[in-house]
Amino acid sequence: MSKLATFRVEDEQWETFLLEAKKRGVSASSLLQDFVAWINQGNELPQIGTVAPLSQADIDQHIEAKLAPVLEELAQLRVSLGELAA
């Protein structure tokens, strides 16, 4: 079941949003549904005007945190492949 949602948005912002959706080859409704799903997956938007620029160390730490599970799985696969080759 789906919910019909209504909200207010400035005319100019809506027109710009419609153009963006069209450039992406999707409807405005589909783009909004994708955004809702993205937020519901735990993603967050930056607080505009309140977010300090990230330092290179912060960026590196964020990348390392995102890569850690992938690198762990890769290490496990290497061990498994090594066992198969032996």
What DSSP letter does each residue of 24-38 carry, written as one string? Answer: HTS-HHHHHHHHHHH
Q: Per the structure block, which two tokens stand in for 41?
A: 């997956």
- 18 C-beta neighbours (distance < 10 Å), count: 13
Kindly state the tokens that stand for 51: 């977010």
Q: Are 25 and 18 in contact (CB under 8 A)?
A: no
pLDDT of residue 85: 79
User: Which pLDDT does position 4 carry in this prediction?
Assistant: 92
Please give the pLDDT value at position 40. 94
pLDDT on residue 12: 93
- What is the residue-level pLDDT of the chain in tens, covering all 86 positions? 888 999 999 999 999 999 999 999 999 999 999 999 999 999 988 777 665 677 888 888 989 999 999 999 999 999 998 888 76
CA neighbor of 2 nearest in space, from 37, 44, 39: 37
Q: Which residue has the tokens 């599970």?
A: 69
pLDDT for 54: 75
pTM: 0.51
